[in-house]
Amino acid sequence: MILGKNGKLLVENRGPGVRVLRFIHPDLRDQIYDRGDIEQCRLFKDIKASALSYISEGEALIMNLGLIEHFPSMLYGILLKVREMIRDHGGCVILCSANPRTREILDLFKASRLFAIAGTEGQALDLAAQFNGHLTSLDDSLTPDTFPANSH
Amino acid sequence: MIQNALLPKSSRARRGQFDAGGELAKLAVAQRRLVPKAAPQVPGYRLAFAYRPAYIATGDYCDFFPRGNGRLAVFIGDGSGHGPAASMLMATMRTHPGLHADPGRTLTDVGRMFHEVVPSELFMTGVYLLLEGGDTVSWASAGQDPPLRINPLGQVATVDSTPVRTPLGVLSGETYPTVRWHLAPGERLFLFTDGLVEARNSSGEAFGRVRLRRSLAELSYRPLEKMVDEILKKAKEHAEGADFEDDFSIVAIERMDEV
């Protein structure tokens, strides 16, 4: 298990090609707005060092948003950037455990078209176990929410 | 509450600690010059407008585009981060006169241009609305709350976010549908960016969309400008007098009685 340098996130291996990144602080704004640029902000640098320094092919990265109380737009930008990097290796990003307010924002952003979104970390792990890295859709009956077709 | 104790007073970060070499201050000057000072006059409609930047350079963008023949286009949106996305979109929308016809087509074209020029992690949410003349309004939304519709009885219509699509810049091939409404005299529309509903009290509770809808219903009998002022007052009271933590913009529109 890796604790991020600034103490705001934890990364844990949960099996071959499956990792979980948990944000462990309710308000990450001071880690995001310290720089004007997403790639230079402390949070992204921490994510990069903790979870993106090595990305295995076809990996599923679960990002647990459960403790986040404040979800600024730049955080979504960070998620998009992480998704881009993971997808470059044929992988996927699964968001989970968003509180109702965060889920409202994700729904408005139609985030389910880019990310798999699960209600709980357990459900996310189930999705990750089914993800075969070949960019196929999952049978709807297997998904608690939706799993994007990865066509974008 | 433990979580509340962990919420940082991030005023330094909010107020521009990251202002790299004063560049954001320069951006802010340019933005202030371009932001409308007041809502324009449109035959058959009353408009009210409020804009509150919370940072040196704002992520919000609100603009009006007169289209002639009594038509007016309105854009209200919120860029990720505080400045760059909004300024890029402002430049795009103001320099492409071919835009500003059908709202869905406008957002589709703008979104494609935006995707081509901005980094992948930058995006803009927004609603583009067109007063088409007469009783017809049309709108399209990119990741933003649809306009709230209030009838003369003070009833706020249920929000249908089915037509909402992804924020501008996120997907290159995104297409945005146009929604068309016919407004009765006295009907109002309320467009807003999320900084308004994100105003929080000391317990961390946001003003929220439910409270906003309730306030709009309660204040529907007030003149339009007063309604907007009172909404702002309620949000500020909810935040216990603290500064708003995020930029926000409001455009309120009322269809007037036919002459």
User: Is the Cβ pair B121, A78 closer than 8 Å?
Assistant: yes
Mean pLDDT over residues B194-198, rounded? Answer: 89
User: Is the Cβ pair A27, B81 closer than 8 Å?
Assistant: no
Instruction: Give the integer Cα–Cα distance in Å for B6 and A4.
Output: 17
- Quick one: pLDDT at residue B168? 93
Chain A residue with minimal CA distance to B208?
Answer: A101
Report the phi/psi class of residue A11: left, alpha or beta, with left for phi > 0 and alpha for psi in -120 to 50: beta
Instruction: Give the integer Cα–Cα distance in Å for A6 and B195.
Output: 27
Task: Report domain extents, chain B.
Answer: 34-255
DSSP-derived secondary structure letter, B167: P
- Polymer length in residues for chain A: 152
User: Is the Cβ pair B144, A78 closer than 8 Å?
Assistant: no
Residues of B in contact with A84 (CB under 8 A): 120-121
Based on DSSP, count helices (H) and strands (E) in chain B, helices before strands: 7, 9
Architecture of domain B34-255: 4-Layer Sandwich (3.60)
Q: Does A36 touch chain B (CB under 8 A)?
A: yes
Higher pLDDT, B114 or B155: B155
- When mean pLDDT is compared across A87-96, B41-50, B109-118, the lowest value belongs to B109-118
Strand ordering across the sheet containing B45-52: B45-52, B248-255, B188-192, B148-150
Q: First and final CA of chain B: distance in angstroms?
A: 56
Instruction: Give the integer Cα–Cα distance in Å for B71 and B65.
Output: 9
Task: Report domain extents, chain A.
Answer: 2-142
The encoded tokens of residue B208 equal 């929220």
Res B49 pLDDT > 50: yes
Phi and psi, residue B182, nearest 5°: -115, 120
Closest residue by Cα to residue B145 from B209, B188, B101, B90? B209
Long-range (24+ apart) CB contacts under 8 A made by B88-92 are B88/B114, B88/B117, B88/B118, B88/B122, B89/B61, B89/B114, B89/B124, B89/B126, B89/B168, B90/B31, B90/B34, B90/B61, B90/B63, B92/B117
The helix or strand, by DSSP H or E, that contains position A22, with its residue range, turns out to be strand A18-23
Q: How far is B185 from chain A (nearest CA, A)?
A: 30
pLDDT tens for residues B17-40?
445 556 656 666 666 666 787 889
- Quick one: pLDDT at residue B246? 74
Q: Evaluate whether B247 touches B58 at the Cβ level (below 8 Å).
A: yes
Q: Does A29 touch chain B (CB under 8 A)?
A: yes
User: Is the Cβ pair A29, B166 closer than 8 Å?
Assistant: no
User: Is the Cβ pair A109, B80 closer than 8 Å?
Assistant: no
Under DSSP, is residue A9 helix (H, G, I), strand (E, B) or coil?
strand
Instruction: Give the integer Cα–Cα distance in Å for A137 and A116.
Output: 11
Rounded to two decimals, what is the model's pTM? 0.85
- Quick one: pLDDT at residue B32? 64
Mean pLDDT over residues B104-115, rounded? Answer: 91
- Quick one: pLDDT at residue B205? 87
CATH of domain A2-142: 3.30.750.24
- Quick one: pLDDT at residue B3? 31
Under DSSP, is residue A64 helix (H, G, I), strand (E, B) or coil?
strand
- Quick one: pLDDT at residue B84? 67
Res B54 pLDDT > 90: no
Residues of B in contact with A66 (CB under 8 A): none
Instruction: Give the integer Cα–Cα distance in Å for A97 and A64.
Output: 6
- Quick one: pLDDT at residue B22? 64
